[in-house]
Amino acid sequence: MYFRLGPSLCILLSCAVVLQAAGPAKMEWDSLQIRVGSQASAAGIWAQKKSSKKPMGLMVWMHGGMQGPNCEKGLQAGKALLPWVSGQNVVVASPSACGARNWLSDAGLEAMESLIDSAMKRFPIDRSRIDLVGVSDGGFGVAHYSLKGKRTIARRVLVSTHVGAWIPAQSISEVAPQFSQGSWLFLQGGADKNFPGEATRPWIQAFCAQVPRATLVWEPQGEHDLSWWVKNRPEQLRTAFTAK
């Protein structure tokens, strides 16, 4: 059994949006702002100018602060991924979550599906190359979509998150079969004050023991904000966000 996020876990989390990184040379991007789902959720899509007509990968960025008041956060949040995928043949998509329309809600799932549908209609997306990135409680969205979404996910990258706040360790075995397709990469820090290491590390280790192709990168000094990883472990991010 897995559990919905209860009131006691309704932490408003945020993740710094960092546009500069020690990555490849900057590329120019075309951006598109759209509304998706029955509740017209705001979403952003980015594709590099002069994009290839060959089949492209799709990377969906799920931001933190999923219950915050900003219902258009996805319009900017996805930009954090752009420096790391410059030169790759990928499209970046970034939905928004807020309030009751958080990543664990039916509305959040509907917006995800609608956004992926829209991206696939606009670009030659390879269905076997759909990746999800979840930062902070955006990781809950990655897990939720992996359980209930209609598409197969190739790769998942979760940064500074604690899916164990939603799925207890004793319930991992029940959902492991649904998580067995594609890979999981957790980037987690021991100095994360939002999701302390004494809770996150044992849960992720249990997850990796039961789910194939799941890997934990543990940084004892790692902090919660993405900015820590950008400054101190850019090579980890570069590897994590390199499309396979």
pLDDT of residue 29: 86
pTM: 0.88
* 101 Cβ contact partners less than 8 Å away, ≥ 6 residues apart: 39, 41, 71, 107, 108, 111
pLDDT of residue 149: 97
pLDDT of residue 40: 83
Q: Which amino acid is at 33?
A: Q
pLDDT of residue 26: 57
pLDDT of residue 53: 79
Length of the chain: 244
What tokens does 109 get? 């799932």
Which of these, 161, 159, 176, lies nearest to 226 by C-alpha position?
Answer: 159
Residues of the chain with pLDDT under 50: 1-25
Domains of the chain, earliest start first: 29-240 (3.40.50.1820)
pLDDT of residue 7: 35
Which of these, 173, 186, 183, lies nearest to 138 by C-alpha position?
Answer: 186
* Angle, vertex CA 58, rays to CA 55 and CA 63, nearest 5: 170
pLDDT of residue 38: 81
